[in-house]
Amino acid sequence: MNPADVHLDVQLGRLRLVNPIMVASGTFGYAREMAGLVDMDRLGGILPKTITFDPRPGNPPPRTIETASGMLNSIGLDNDGIESFIERQLPYLASLGTAIVVSVAGRSEQEFIRMAARLDGLPGVAALELNISCPNVTGGVDFGTDPAMCQRLVAGIRHTCSLPVLAKLTPNVTDISQIARAAEAGGADAISLINTCLGMAVDWRRRRPILGNVLGGLSGPAIKPIALGAVYRVARAVGVPLVGTGGIASIDDVMEFLVAGATAVQIGTANFYHPTVSMQILDALPAALGELGATCVADVVGTIGSG
């Protein structure tokens, strides 16, 4: 297969991406920070840092710490609120030639819906990702751990807003497939998984937690097997497309997620230590798909056999 003949575009429900490589919320700022390093127009999509209705200062420092094979963060959705986002960040994001999937988090169903209604129809907003999975704030994660609340929230947003909706799930549940089925029943166009895994770091000499908020979310290479397992299981439970996230840092990682059942991927923590990783992955993607005899991304999605 000639790599030039491989089609990279993918469909996430009503959202079409020119390729399956996106960057994950909270790891790419509002994109401006990465200009000069990354050719934004080549990306399949950008997820800016999650926004909330009101500005939030986030959690007390320290808020990040390196671990043996990843990082722990307890940022706590530090952001300037939706109106500041629309005024200060969206014009730049809208000028980029890629899909902007705005990540939103509400403290209540009403707040989620108010945010979705406000963003609906604004130039440059291609879709919403519902962050119902941040381990570092109280409240919002309930929508990602209770199937009935999850379904009602997604349905409520579908009812009031015409944008495609992605639901981003947490791995910090007993059965992620159950939550995924609820998101699908509510009308989600696609399901993103996973957000970070709850963890902590300890300074034993001081007998203290290291993070100011005590607990944080683990990300990076350490969580890739957890994310792959989640994608594999959820792919067997729902019919909607999946977006795989967790420890992706190379073309091999991307191919593993696609074969396991993801239609697209998001690169997160790797952006911090290898800012051009998404470009290298895009360079390598057509040949990797061609190696499996694929003419398009869909040809490999979920094609994994049994052990």
Q: Which residues bind ligand FMN (CB under 6 A)?
A: 24-27, 49-50, 71, 73, 75, 77, 103, 131, 134, 168, 195-196, 219-220, 223, 245-248, 267-270
Active site residue 197: no
Q: Which of 260, 252, 262, 234 is nearest to 288 (CA)?
A: 252
Report in angstroms how near the CB of residue 65 gets to ligand FMN at its nearest. 11
What is the full DSSP assignment across 197-253?
A: EEEE-EETTTTEESSTTSEEEEESGGGHHHHHHHHHHHHTT-SS-EEEESS--SHHH
89 vs 131, which CB is nearer to ligand FMN?
131
What is the b/e burial string over 170-179, where b = at least 16 CB atoms within 10 angstroms of the residue's CB?
bbbbeebbeb
Which residue number places its CB atom closest to ligand FMN? 26
Handedness of CA 133, 134, 138, 139 (dihedral sign): negative
Helices (H), the chain: 82-84, 90-94, 109-119, 142-145, 147-160, 176-186, 224-235, 251-260, 270-273, 277-291
Residue 103 or 172 having the CB closest to ligand FMN:
103
Backbone angles phi, psi at 40, to 5 degrees: -55, -40
Active site residues: 134
